[in-house]
Amino acid sequence: MNQFDLTGKVAVVTGGSRGIGRAIVQAYAEAGADVVVASRKLEACEVAAKEVEASTGRTAVGIACHVGRWDDCDALIAATLERFGRLDVFVNNAGMSPLYESLDAVTEDLYDKTFAVNLKGPFRLAVLAGTHMVDHDGGSIINVGTIGALVASPNELPYACAKAGLNALTVGLAEAFAPKVRVNGILPGAFRTDITKAWPEEALSGEYVPLGRLGEPEEIAGLAVYLASPAASYTTGAVIRVDGGITRKV
């Protein structure tokens, strides 16, 4: 179990104040890491950070960051290094999938915002984090995508396209930053978070999932710990599905 120990490490998780990101933040702190909770809303980040500190005793800091803006991305990396002096694990988890009535109703603004948050910002953040890690003690970058990048539906096509680009980014950066930095991806399926509250009953039922239900955020956190830890020392360029065996989208 020592292979999964993150003591002495500093981990940053975007979209870390809720859902899957929040579960990953908690798991990292429980594994011994100090954590940065990053999200658009500073108050939500600070609340999550206080909860993590209270429950684990690790240092947790909330930093506001709109990942679709490169200035914010630069500031997040700089603030982390100023606060902790190191960066060992970076998780690109923040994402957005705006609704639209039909494909021909997708506006240029919606398309651009979707790509900014799901691909443009993660590119910048991963490049900055990885460059620092290469120049220092190495590290791990984890890109959280979606099974929709492989099994796309017309209801979320711009999002799926952007996340497919994130898969390509994962593979490319794994080569670019080797051997000191490992870069891997996680493809969640349907997970029960606050976002699913607006889903129709058919989607919430999980009947289309071979395991017969939606996943819980904590069920992805173990993989995130593995990929961040020495236990995954020979794992890079991998894109791993965590979707209950899903083969189609609702």
Q: Which of 28, 159, 208, 234 is catalytic?
A: 159
Would residue 111 show up in a list of annotated catalytic residues for this protein? no
3-class DSSP string for the chain: CHHHCCCCCEEEEECCCCHHHHHHHHHHHHCCCEEEEEECCHHHHHHHHHHHHHHHCCCEEEEECCCCCHHHHHHHHHHHHHHHCCCCEEEECCCCCCCCCCHHHCCHHHHHHHHHHHHHHHHHHHHHHHHHHHHCCCEEEEEECCHHHCCCCHHHHHHHHHHHHHHHHHHHHHHHHCCCEEEEEEEECCECCHHHHHCCHHHHHCCCCCCCCCECCHHHHHHHHHHHCHHHCCCCCCEEEECCCCCCCC
Beta bridge partners of 10: 34
Active site residues: 159
